[in-house]
Amino acid sequence: MLLTVKDVSKDFGGLRALNQVNMTVEEGKITALIGPNGAGKTTLFNIIAGVYGATEGSVFFKGECIDRIPTHKLVEKGIARTFQLAKLFDKMTVLENVMVGRHTRAKASTLWRVVTNAAKVRREEAQVREYAMEMLGLAGIQKQANELAGNLPHGQKRLLEMARAMATGPELLLLDEPAAGLNPSEEDMLHEALASIIKAGTTLLLVEHDMRMVMGASDFVHVLEYGNKIAEGTPEEIGKNAAVIRAYLGREI
């Protein structure tokens, strides 16, 4: 498995937000994490992303324990994330936003620029720009490359944040409610972008409330309730699971 969550618990003071949760993410698949508000989804997501440390248990990426490794170090290891509210540089162009993401992988640090000739710097900058355009293509918004990020509609901002995260070259991309606030047309664009990202070789783990997106895009689903794992399976299995229907769905899907 690309990612393994083993017996993870998280306490906040006297509150146990997660209780002995186990979960796996298979390489090359779209895995969804769902559950009602307060189920612990965001807490688990943030533990995987390096924002929180687990009270108990461990997280493994490609067999390596990544407990308490900060987010910027996880990016170097191949894990990137997006946020529920898009965090973009509104005064920069769409292309420039994605180039910022790619520069985390570039050699052209400030010191490197001082000691290296200008031709090499220009060559790498051209490579960064080309790669950034490829990521915009995966997200389906390459035509907006020269627009200011702040001028994009909500759905395209979500796609831009995905493209910027993809520019770091992740093996695993964590998506925090990517369909939040999208209209049906924008959801279709997102669905196409997710398929393109998987085809490009990046594995996806998403936290999502939109069951249309979960059932239509996911290969495998994990379900939390009150910090406990109550079910896992394919979208079809989850849609018919009595415990999940009772806790979250309300009806069979």
Q: Are 193 and 154 within one domain? A: no
pLDDT > 70 fraction of the chain, expressed in percent and rounded:
92
Q: Are 157 and 227 within one domain? A: no
Q: Are 27 and 134 within one domain? A: no
Q: Are 176 and 74 within one domain? A: yes
Query: Tokens standing for 107?
Result: 């050699």
Q: Are 66 and 121 within one domain? A: no
Query: Tokens standing for 142?
Result: 């390459």
Q: Are 95 and 159 within one domain? A: yes
Helices then strands (H, E): number in the chain? 10, 10
Query: Tokens standing for 225?
Result: 């309730």
In a domain, 83, yes or no: no
Q: What mean pLDDT do residues 99-123 have?
A: 66
Residue 85 binned pLDDT confidence (cut-offs 50, 70, 90):
confident
pLDDT > 90 fraction of the chain, expressed in percent and rounded:
78
Q: Are 181 and 156 within one domain? A: no
- Phi, psi (degrees; rounded to nearest 5) at 156: -70, -30
Q: Are 152 and 32 within one domain? A: no
Q: Are 69 and 174 within one domain? A: yes
Residue 117 binned pLDDT confidence (cut-offs 50, 70, 90):
low
Domain-terminating residue out of 167, 189, 204: 167
Residue 107 has pLDDT above 70, yes or no: no
In a domain, 45, yes or no: yes
pLDDT of residue 31: 98
Query: Tokens standing for 140?
Result: 């389906």
Q: Where does the chain have alpha helices with state H?
A: 41-48, 71-77, 94-102, 110-115, 118-139, 154-166, 184-199, 211-217, 235-239, 242-244
CB 199 within 8 A of CB 192: no
Residue 115 has pLDDT above 70, yes or no: no
* Dist. CA 166–CA 163, nearest whole Å: 5
* Dist. CA 198–CA 189, nearest whole Å: 14
Q: What mean pLDDT do residues 162-166 have?
A: 95
In a domain, 217, yes or no: yes
Question: Does pTM surpass 0.75?
Answer: yes
If one compares 224 and 114, the residue with the highest pLDDT of the two is 224
Q: Which domain holds residue 55?
A: 1-78+170-253
Domain-terminating residue out of 122, 140, 167: 167
Q: Are 161 and 180 within one domain? A: no
Q: What mean pLDDT do residues 186-207 have?
A: 95
Q: What mean pLDDT do residues 156-171 have?
A: 95
Residue 11 has pLDDT above 70, yes or no: yes
Q: What mean pLDDT do residues 115-144 have?
A: 86
Residue 110 has pLDDT above 60, yes or no: no
Query: Tokens standing for 215?
Result: 């059932």
Read off the CATH number of the domain in which 239 is found: 3.40.50.300
Domain-terminating residue out of 167, 190, 219: 167
Residue 114 binned pLDDT confidence (cut-offs 50, 70, 90):
low
Residue 105 has pLDDT above 80, yes or no: no
Residue 28 has pLDDT above 70, yes or no: yes
Residue 64 has pLDDT above 80, yes or no: yes
Residue 95 binned pLDDT confidence (cut-offs 50, 70, 90):
very high
Residue 108 has pLDDT above 70, yes or no: no
Q: What mean pLDDT do residues 168-184 have?
A: 93
pLDDT of residue 116: 61
Q: Are 157 and 123 within one domain? A: yes
Q: Are 43 and 30 within one domain? A: yes
Least confident of 2-16, 51-65, 95-109, 161-175: 95-109
Residue 193 has pLDDT above 70, yes or no: yes
Total structural domains within the chain = 2
The average confidence (pLDDT) of the chain is 91
